[in-house]
Amino acid sequence: MRVERLVPLALPRGQKLQCELCRGPAGLRCGACCVTYYCEVEHQKADWDSIHEKICQLLIPLRTPLPFYNSDKERNHGLEQQLSREKHLVELTHRVAQKFLFEGKHKEAIPAALHSLRFSIHIYGLNSVELVPPYLILAEASIGLGHLTQAEEYLSQAQWTVLKTSHCSDAIQSKLHRNLGLLYAAKGNFEESLYHLANDIYFASCAFGTNNISSSGGYYHMANVFFRQNKMDIADSLYSEVSSRSLKLVFMLFWSMVEFVKALTSILTEDFFILYFAWFFKGEYTKFPLLKMWKK
Task: State the CATH architecture for 169-266.
Answer: Alpha Horseshoe (1.25)
pLDDT of 1: 80
- At residue 13, the pLDDT reads 81
Tell me what pLDDT residue 238 has: 84
Q: What is the pLDDT of residue 295?
A: 42
- How far apart, in whole angstroms, are the C-alpha atoms of residue 203 and residue 118? 27
The whole-number pLDDT of residue 250 equals: 59
| 82-168 and 169-266: identical CATH topology | yes
In the prediction, which pLDDT does 290 show?
44
pTM to 2 decimal places: 0.78
Cα separation, 121 vs 141, in Å, equals 20
Topology of the domain comprising 82-168: 1.25.40
How high is the pLDDT of residue 127? 86
Residue 257 sits at φ, ψ, to 5 deg, of -65, -40
pLDDT at 262: 56
Each domain of the chain, given as residue ranges in start order, spans: 1-64, 82-168, 169-266
- pLDDT at 211 (0 to 100): 77
Secondary structure in 3-state letters for the chain? CCEEECCHHHCCCCCCCECCCCCCECCEEECCCCCCEECCHHHHHHHHHHHHHHHCHHHCCCCCCCCCCCCHHHHHHHHHHHHHHHHHHHHHHHHHHHHHHHCCCHHHHHHHHHHHHHHHHHHHCCCCHHHHHHHHHHHHHHHHHCCHHHHHHHHHHHHHHHHHCCCCCHHHHHHHHHHHHHHHHHHCCHHHHHHHHHHHHHHHHHHHCCCCHHHHHHHHHHHHHHHHCCCHHHHHHHHHHHHHHHHHHHHHHHHHHHHHHHHHHHHCCHHHHHHHHHHHHHHHHHHCHHHHHHHC
Render each residue's pLDDT in the chain as its tens digit; 296 residues: 888 888 877 778 878 889 999 999 998 999 999 899 999 999 999 999 999 999 999 999 998 887 887 888 888 888 899 999 999 999 999 999 999 999 999 999 999 999 999 999 999 998 899 999 999 999 999 999 999 999 999 999 999 999 888 788 999 999 999 999 999 999 999 999 999 999 999 999 998 887 777 778 888 899 999 999 999 998 888 888 777 766 555 555 555 665 655 565 555 555 555 555 555 555 554 444 444 444 44
pLDDT value, residue 194 = 94
| Torsions phi, psi for 34 (to 5 deg) | 60, 20
pLDDT of residue 285: 47
> Residue 28: what residue type?
L
pLDDT score at 43:
94
Residue 151 is predicted with a pLDDT of: 94
